[in-house]
Amino acid sequence: MTLQDSPDFAVTHVFRLDGGGRTAAFASFDRGVPGLVHFGASLPMEEALSDLAIATIPNVGAGQIDPFQPLTLCPLAITGWQGHPGMILQDADGRDYLANPKLAGVEANGPDGVRFTLHDRGDAEGVRLIISARLDPATGILHLTQSLTLPRGMSSSWLAAPAVPAPTGMSRIIDHSGRWCGEFRRQETEFRTGAHMRESREGRTGHAHFPGVTLASASTGEHAGTCLAATLAWSGGHRMLAEELPDGRRQLQFGVLDDGVARGEIASPTLMLAWSDAGLNGVSQAFHGHLRALQAPVNARRGREPHPVHYNCWEAVYFRHDFDELKTIATRAAGLGAERFVLDDGWFRGRNDDTSSLGDWVIDAAKFPDGLTPLIEHVHAQGMRFGLWFEPEMVNRDSELYRAHPDYLLGPEDQPSGRNQHVLDMARKDVRDHLFAQISAILSAHAIDYVKWDHNRPLTGGSPDQARGFLALLGDLVRAHPDVDFESCSSGGGRIDFAVLELASRVWLSDSNDALERLRMQHEASRWIAPEVQGSHVGPRHCHTSGRVLSMAFRAWVAAQRHMGFEMDPRELDAEEAATLTRVTAWWKQNRGFLFSGSLYRLEPDDSEVFAEMTVDMDRNRFILFAGQAGASAQIFPRPLRAAGLDPDAIYEIRLVNPEDVSRRANRRIVNALADGGTMRLSGALLMGTGMRLPNAAPASMTVVEGTRIGAGASHA
């Protein structure tokens, strides 16, 4: 971090952070709230930041407020800013209070950060605002937070995370909608005068409102062009606002959604920004690197395979937990290659359907008269680890917990239920303490190294303290049980964000195991979430959520793109299906280290029915490419598929990993050797420029390609 005093009367301070190939430059005008005047490519150290800051301010036009109005990290109405403010305050009588914070101090916040302290009108006894910025030296991600201290009697009805300008030329707004069993649906609009606003009012992140947005230029694609991605690290209700003022300037704000008011000490969640001049893949790889950096020290300390093949029994037995049947299923799953057995909903006292027992985290003696230990021992004997499902934040009225503590319920008695259940008030410490004691007792008494943490309904009320309480409880359990992996599940993808991923090592992307739906969802989720963090399971032959029947090869290869698992009754498999699943699983085990350490590139197939991506190692010696064919293409032949991330001067030997899955009906005459298991030698320049023609693909099929640089050998991780 460097700090420069400016002789210019308008610019009080300018300062910069450098790291990860990026520069973040800030400027304070007349000791006001600093603004982010540059975030992007590294600037020369000789850059005159005062001139840069002044260059971002337009000249005052007719009909405008007299002084210039810079967009700051906390834009304020009192300065003449005509857009949405960064904070809205009320005095003791409930009237709007126009704070005017002045810069009181700037200090280094670690080697890569800076902290700005501001006092209202320069008065240290009034409103105090602290804004912190940190530029990650490895990923180039900029982390921004702000906190507010209010005098007694004052309140805040809105405090955004620090506001940032939309960089010049980035007119496109790309975000994601979705629904249960249909998460991560990409949508796009453009800036226009006014605000594009997204809100989640579910009390959780929400299936339809992943808290992230990407701003991009008109020409930006997966591999080229400039873009800025922003995400709020928060697991509760939130608001995103992308606004264009009538004067043409554009701002981006994220904040916690709270219909009430906050008092005292208030802090925004972290806003994370990634910039790329190498297309959308560039910002994705930055966020993937962030998640990998979080998990690397934990995985190293545990000293075990961090991504075992899962088996989850939910779609095999649902609530029907029979000890002997579960043993049989576990043995069969292990034979197919599973490395962890997860016992899902139905193991606790009285739980035979979804109408009762949530909140009573005691093993059901009717189903497991000797407890869970005999099942765990059987699972271990098959060479697998053991995981368990919980839904800690929920309660059924038909439960011992509700009968003993009806006051634990969040909200009024006459509120509607969701999935026959209600929500516990996680803002209460006594509620969290009760849940911690019950869950911790189960984890301490058994050899359990994985928890699937579910949250199966939206809220009908509750403040942000509900989400804070959840994060506090989960954090306490993570610290008390450091060898347990936690997965964030919320009816599938209802709570996926960078706050919960500080604590959870895996997300359940969707309750849909339909491989066609998964193909699309996984592809879009990769814009933010690293592949190893996304759980993906091979579902039943007859999909329970969509009714589709899809081939085992397609189901298995789609799951093999991410953290692979099974979620079906393995006894339904015929010999051919079992052999296919065993083969794909064995391949995945051999290659998961490579897939989860290389750089992921989404490709541009020029065909809306093809979802293609590839992973390339750091030395560009090897790649694995997945080309998923969702439906029938408009043209007869598949278009050549252009690779990315390779060395243009290298020659790569190309082969199909799964030639046995090539459709002979779609390929009556084989032209190149790939479809018959042969190889081809092509340059990186050709693969990325002209592209390669893969075999004609039938709908709902996957083609998997491996390439190795000639002379480098395989670089299996």
Which residues are known to be catalytic? Answer: 454, 511
Interaxial angle between packed helices 373-381 and 323-336, expressed in degrees from 0 to 180 and rounded to the nearest 10: 20
Report which of 10, 4, 5 is spatially closest to residue 59, judged by C-alpha positions.
10
Q: Which helix (H) or strand (E) segment is 301 a member of?
A: helix 280-302
**CB–CB of 410/461 below 8 Å?**
yes
CB neighbour list of residue 153: distance below 8 Å, 6 or more residues apart: 91, 92
CB 625 within 8 A of CB 644: no
Which residue has tokens 């339809």?
208
Three-state DSSP class for residue 63:
coil
- Is residue 706 exposed (0-12), middle (13-18) or buried (19+ Cβ within 10 Å)? buried
Euclidean distance between CA atoms 23 and 424, whole angstroms: 44
What span, in angstroms and rounded, lies between the C-alpha atoms of 699 and 5? 63
Contact at 8 Å (CB) between 271 and 143? yes
Q: How far apart are CA 297 and CA 304, in angstroms?
A: 12
CA distance 232 to 175: 13
- Rounded distance, CA 465 to CA 452, Å? 23
- In 368-428, which residue ranges form alpha helices assigned H by DSSP? 373-381, 400-404
User: Which of these, 547, 459, 533, 385, lies nearest to 200 by C-alpha position?
Assistant: 459
Nearest to residue 520, comparing CAs of 393, 649, 630?
A: 630
